[in-house]
Structure 1
Amino acid sequence: MSEKRKLIFIVNPAAKNGFSLRIWKKLSMQLKDIPYEVYFTEKTRDGTEIAKSLAMKHSHPLLIVAVGGDGTIHEVINGIMHFPHVTIAYIPAGSGNDFARGFGMPQDPKKSIEYIKELIDSHETLFDAGVYTTNQGVNGIFVNSVGAGFDALISMKGNQSKVKKWLNSISLGKLAYTYYIVKELFRYQPTTLTLEVDGETKKFEKTWFVTVSNQQYFGGGMKIAPHADPQDGEFNITVVHRLSKIKLLFIFVSVFWGGHLKYKEVVSFNGREISIDFDQPVRVHADGEDIAETPFYVKISPKSWGLIQKAE
């Protein structure tokens, strides 16, 4: 790079019940020799608004570092899309941290800050993003995955729960999702899914959920899409349908190593533009954040944002 990047941190102090703020206080001690700015979010969507405001304010190269969980990086990337002078970095300080896994970033916050200091002025790597639009007028960007059905319901319940807050206090926040999987399993009624993938219609009866993945992981380390590549210009789509409730539990366990793909009730394929609808409205998540109900539409935005990353 010919011009040095300005270093800016956007910190979500509430991530993982305040763990993010404690991590930031420790890491900031390692930045005494580097000029930087820091901004703190206070409510939902602050990360998007702060990142967008900074991108519009500055015309020289910026490195914006999200400090928090997958929801924090989701908000920041939504703010900087279409601003090519902005590059992204990440310090994982949430309970899931699928972004760090899926994009080959350090998962240890202490290693992350050294990684950022080393690569601050290195060339960025460009990655794909997904663009989603819903019938309720909600639209935005995702970089991990979007999904509809049982997994989106679990994500919503887990994120809203007091159980997760308590478990986060003892660094076991991911168990909240396991709790809600078991709790909601016997209430949920799978229904017919209709997909239109690159102009071809596909129907799946008794569908539990569909996930459209840009990278491999979701749900705090579940390898939902082992074949997803965030640089190939396509999504990987996973449909889970026509199986018993007990078998669904086995599939959720096997997702952690990608073993779910061996089941005949799990279908996986690729696509660039996808319309998603169910016979009855179901919840939709984007990067683990509850956004709306079905129907909705997604399309790929190839190599549309930059991340600092070590060359392999």
Structure 2
Amino acid sequence: MTLNDKRKLIFIINPAAKNGYSLRIWKKLSRQLQDIPYEVFFTEKTNDGANIAKKLAMKDSHPLLIVAVGGDGTIHEVINGIMQFPHVTIAYIPAGSGNDFARGFSLPTDPMKSIEFIEELMDFPATLFDAGTYTTNQGERGFFVNSIGAGFDALISMRGNRSKAKKWLNSISLGKLVYSYYVIKELFCYRPTTLTLEVDGKKRIYDKTWFVTISNQQYFGGGMKIAPHADPRDGEFNITVVHRLSKIKLLFIFMSVFWGGHLKYKEVDSYNGREISIYFEQPVRVHADGEDISETPFYVKILPKSWGLIQK
């Protein structure tokens, strides 16, 4: 990249992330940027991150570095806005409650180290990574970079994200506890159902399925290592199916996911694929990067090396 091709630096900040933690972090970070020109935009409602990023990408054909400041939902929105704009490169400052994106893409998890990382590498060539695209029967379309899934985990994600208790728990850095509460609560009324997957043209059927997760990188759910073998640069998804197990055993599997130990259970299937259609006997919730998007059925496809990230 030549001097004339230096990227314009833009920050998109979700001030509500982690109950205002993101805004407090930004006020500290901005003091380190006094000698660097930049623009800053704040989100106010759902999808603002995508809309702001897309408008910026369409307006300016000059190389841009858009930095998302917030949680996984913030980076999910920003990437949905810049996909298909090759002159835009992404960077990230984790300031949410989960921050699986930072873990999965080997980025600093400390915000202060993140800004130093960005300052050091902001004009270096981007590293290209895979993304996924999804289409639902309800007409929703979009992209994801962490994972997309359906079933029990998507229901827990939806319940937790909508919980009023999450804001209070985030204020004392215990936001993840709300998901544990809903795991226990929903465990006793959730009914596993039959899942049909079509993976690269091959059909697979699982009865009594709790959930299926299609991963682009290793982590989901705030540090759970759901897909230890996923690689966001290999041109494939890693697919995890949990089925035919008791409610008590499901709790043990959820605990073991944090270190990838769930793969040893016979009720957990894991393999790779590029194009997947997902059908449940009864419609179940679907999440993309932890954000509730729709119900099954839906279709996903890998987009190899489709976006650029600042990374060592």
For the aligned pair, the TM-score class normalised by the smaller chain equals: over 0.9
Query: Matches of 1:36 and 1:176 in 2, distance apart?
Result: 36
Partner residue in 1 for 2:246: 244
Query: Matches of 1:103 and 1:130 in 2, distance apart?
Result: 15
Query: Matches of 1:285 and 1:116 in 2, distance apart?
Result: 29
| Structure 2 residue identity aligned to 1:297 | Y
Q: CA deviation at 1:196?
A: 0.2
Query: Matches of 2:166 and 2:260 in 1, distance apart?
Result: 25
Partner residue in 2 for 1:188: 190
Query: Matches of 1:147 and 1:25 in 2, distance apart?
Result: 35
Query: Matches of 1:80 and 1:143 in 2, distance apart?
Result: 13
Per the normalisation by structure 2, the TM-score is 0.99
Query: Matches of 1:291 and 1:97 in 2, distance apart?
Result: 19
Per the normalisation by structure 1, the TM-score is 0.99
Consecutive unaligned residues of structure 1, counting only runs of 5 or more, are: none
Q: CA deviation at 1:204?
A: 0.3
1:260 aligns with 2:262: yes
Among all aligned residue pairs of Structure 1 and Structure 2, give the percentage whose two residues are the same amino acid: 83
Partner residue in 1 for 2:135: 133
Q: CA deviation at 1:175?
A: 1.2
Q: Secondary structure at the match of 2:155?
A: helix
Count how many residue pairs are aligned between Structure 1 and Structure 2: 310
Q: CA deviation at 1:165?
A: 1.0
Partner residue in 2 for 1:34: 36
Partner residue in 1 for 2:299: 297
Query: Matches of 2:192 and 2:204 in 1, distance apart?
Result: 16
1:76 aligns with 2:49: no
Q: CA deviation at 1:188?
A: 0.2
| Structure 2 residue identity aligned to 1:202 | R
* Matches for 1:51-70 after TM superposition, within 5 Å: 51-70=53-72
Query: Matches of 2:220 and 2:142 in 1, distance apart?
Result: 18
Q: Secondary structure at the match of 1:217?
A: coil
Task: Choose from 204, 207, 212 the match for 1:205.
Answer: 207
Consecutive unaligned residues of structure 2, counting only runs of 5 or more, are: none
Q: CA RMSD in A?
A: 0.4
Query: Matches of 1:161 and 1:72 in 2, distance apart?
Result: 18
Q: CA deviation at 1:162?
A: 1.1
| Structure 2 residue identity aligned to 1:254 | S
Partner residue in 1 for 2:156: 154
| Cα deviation digits, residues 165-209 of structure 1 (max 9, x gap) | 111010111111111101110010000000000000000000000
Q: Secondary structure at the match of 1:300?
A: strand
Q: Secondary structure at the match of 1:117?
A: helix
| Cα deviation digits, residues 234-287 of structure 1 (max 9, x gap) | 000000000000000000000000000000000001000000010000000000
**Superposition misfits of 4+ residues, deviation over 4 angstroms:** none
Query: Matches of 1:174 and 1:129 in 2, distance apart?
Result: 26
